[in-house]
């Protein structure tokens, strides 16, 4: 698993994604930084793989939600930087495809991480992303 975590930082996005998909199967707490770091990547397929690989992240009280919530609550600056990276890559590379940030795969992932941390009682820095989409305002205004 350690080797897979190291390969998650490879220069080739396909190699990063292949190793990430195996990392996501682990419930070891020390893999969380590697996964959260990859959430700040510009490769949208990696963001989608994280979301698929962490189905428990959206389930209140689940082991995955607790694991990632605890990591983020202990590392709020790391998470804030990840949020900024998600917004930056969306703005630079994907704004044409996802004109509203809330429709970008990274947006849902960041919100899930933020909710997981809040469930653990984390006091995070102010949001570094545009406001999430809501049922009342599907355009995120």
The answer to whether 16 and 7 have CB atoms below 8 angstroms apart is yes
The mean pLDDT value for 99-117 works out to: 93
For residue range 21-45, list pLDDT tens digits in order.
999 999 999 999 999 999 998 889 9
CA distance 107 to 111: 6
In the chain, domain spans? 2-119
Whole-structure pTM value: 0.85
51: pLDDT confidence band, cut at 50, 70 and 90?
very high
What is the full DSSP assignment across the chain? -HHHHHHTT-SSHHHHHHHHHHHTT---GGGHHHHHHHHT-S-HHHHHHHHHH-GGGGSTT-HHHHHHHHHHHH-HHHHHHHHHHHHHHIIIIITTT-SSGGGSHHHHHHHHHHHHHHHTT--PPSP-SPPPP-SS-TT--
Task: Count CB-CB contacts under 10 A for residue 80.
Answer: 16
135: pLDDT confidence band, cut at 50, 70 and 90?
very low
Quick one: pLDDT at residue 11? 83
The position carrying tokens 């997981």 is 116
For residue range 85-99, list pLDDT tens digits in order.
999 999 999 999 999
CA distance 65 to 100: 26
For residue range 58-70, list pLDDT tens digits in order.
999 999 999 999 9
CA 14 to chain centre: 18
Quick one: pLDDT at residue 76? 94
Q: What percent of the chain has pLDDT over 90?
A: 67
């Amino acid at each position: 698993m350690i080797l897979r975590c190291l390969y998650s930082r490879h220069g080739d996005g396909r190699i990063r994604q292949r190793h990430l998909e195996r990392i996501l199967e682990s419930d070891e707490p020390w893999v969380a930084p590697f996964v959260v770091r990859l959430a700040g990547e510009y490769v949208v397929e990696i963001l989608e793989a994280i979301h698929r690989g962490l189905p428990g992240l959206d389930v209140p009280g689940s082991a995955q939600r607790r694991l990632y919530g605890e990591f983020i609550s202990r590392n709020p600056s790391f998470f804030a930087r990840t949020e900024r990276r998600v917004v930056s890559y969306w703005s630079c590379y994907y704004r044409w495809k996802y004109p509203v940030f809330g429709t970008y795969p990274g947006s849902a992932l960041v919100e899930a991480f933020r909710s997981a941390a809040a469930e653990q009682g984390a006091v995070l820095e102010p949001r570094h992303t545009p406001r999430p989409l809501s049922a009342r305002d599907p355009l995120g205004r």
